[in-house]
Amino acid sequence: MPLVSPHEVKATPSLHGQPPYFQFGRVYKNSIIEASYKITDSQLITMVYKPSWIDILHQDTEWFSFRVDTSSVGDFLGTIYVNTTDGQTSVAVSITIRDSPQPSVRVLIADSPFSMWSTSNPEDWKTMTDIMDVSLANVTYVLHENGYYTTNFPSNIENYDIILLAEGGIMDTLHIAPRRLRTT
């Protein structure tokens, strides 16, 4: 994984997609971070380039989803480039991955707030990512697109202190692990 400056990383906006950039804030090593990006006013033709620390989960003509490899500690800033029917466009991605101090709480969020439908203004995520950072939450963001989880839903849900499920996430989780979920 390429390491960038230890200073705060800042992504720049895209002109042809939603959200225009991703700033995941500070997360813990080996957490699951998933997101999706919608191509606007054109169609995706091919994926041109992605940083080695980003894995593409799904792509079609209107959107793609991806997961950040969080296996290494550091500050990461990269850009995903795609060819569209209107030319090449890009989306910047930034994240800081840490392994200390010890997390105080484990949080699972399904559906990931970093969804193509969530906002056109990524600054909307800042309060949430700041809260997860200062509360030392080891947070997992699992994407739920088109009625399905893009990854295998974590099998160890009993290891999470807090689980936040979106409406679709609740229904799909019930058939995966109904006896392991409880409400308080």
CA-to-CA dists, residue 36 to 61, 77, 80, 91, 108, angstroms:
13, 17, 12, 11, 17
pLDDT in tens, 28-45: 999 989 998 988 888 888
pLDDT of residue 183 exceeding 70: no
- Contact assessment for residue 34 and residue 112, using Cβ atoms and an 8 Å cutoff: yes
Q: What is the pLDDT of residues 107-116, one digit of tens each?
A: 888 777 777 7
pLDDT > 90: percent of the chain:
26
**What residues have CB less than 8 Å from 33, skipping those under 6 apart?**
24, 27, 67, 68, 70, 95, 112, 114, 140, 141
Domain ranges within the chain, ordered by starting residue = 17-180
In this prediction, what percent of the chain has a pLDDT beyond 70?
75
Which amino acid is located at 165 in the chain?
Answer: L
Identify whether the C-beta of residue 37 lies closer than 8 Å to the C-beta of residue 64: yes
Q: Quick one: pLDDT at residue 134?
A: 83
Against a cut of 0.85, is the pTM above it?
no
pLDDT tens per residue across span 68-77: 999 999 999 9
pLDDT higher than 80, residue 84: yes
Indicate whether 3 pLDDT > 50: no
82-111: burial string, b at 16+ Cβ within 10 Å, e else: bebeeeebbbbbbbbbbeeeebeebbbbbb
- Assigned CATH class of 17-180: mainly beta
Tokens of 86: 């209107």
